[in-house]
Homo-oligomer: A and B are copies of this chain.
Amino acid sequence: MGHAAKGADLPLNRILAGDCIEAMNALPAGSVDLIFADPPYNLQLRADLHRPDNSRVDAVDDAWDRFANFSTYDEFTRAWLSAARRLLKPNGAIWVIGSYHNIFRLGAELQNQGYWILNDVVWRKSNPMPNFRGKRLTNAHETLIWASREEGARYTFNYEALKALNDGVQMRSDWVLPICTGHERLKNADGDKAHPTQKPESLLHRVLVATTNPGDVVLDPFFGTGTTGAVAKMLGRDFIGIERETAYREVAEKRLSRVRRYDKSGLEVTRAKRAEPRVPFGTLVERGMLRPGEVLVSQSGKTAKVRADGTLVSADHTGSIHQVGAALEGAPSCNGWTYWTFRKDGEHVPIDVLRQQIRAEMR
- Chain B residue at smallest Cβ distance from A363: B126
Residues of chain A from 302 to 354 with CB closer than 8 A to chain B in the complex: 305-311, 313, 318, 320, 329, 331-334
Residues of chain A from 114 to 159 with CB closer than 8 A to chain B in the complex: 114, 117-122, 124, 126-128, 130-131, 134-141, 143, 145-146, 150-152, 157-159
Residues from chain B with Cβ under 8 Å of A308 in the complex: 161, 205, 209, 235, 262, 266-269
Tally of A interface residues using CB under 8 Å: 119
- Chain B residue at smallest Cβ distance from A113: B63
Residues from chain B with Cβ under 8 Å of A170 in the complex: 130-131, 134, 137-138
B108 touches A140 (CB 8 A): no
Residues from chain B with Cβ under 8 Å of A166 in the complex: 280, 282
A282 touches B164 (CB 8 A): yes
Q: Does A70 sit at the interface, judged by CB under 8 A?
A: yes
A270 touches which one: B100, B288, B309 (CB < 8 A)? Answer: B309
B174 touches A174 (CB 8 A): yes
Residues of chain A from 91 to 129 with CB closer than 8 A to chain B in the complex: 99-101, 103-108, 110-112, 114, 117-122, 124, 126-128
B287 touches A202 (CB 8 A): yes
Q: A178-B287, A334-B54 are in contact. Are A306 and B136 (CB under 8 A)?
A: no
B165 touches A282 (CB 8 A): yes
- A57 and B161 alpha carbons, distance in the complex (Å): 26
Residues from chain B with Cβ under 8 Å of A184 in the complex: 288
- A318 and B139 alpha carbons, distance in the complex (Å): 40
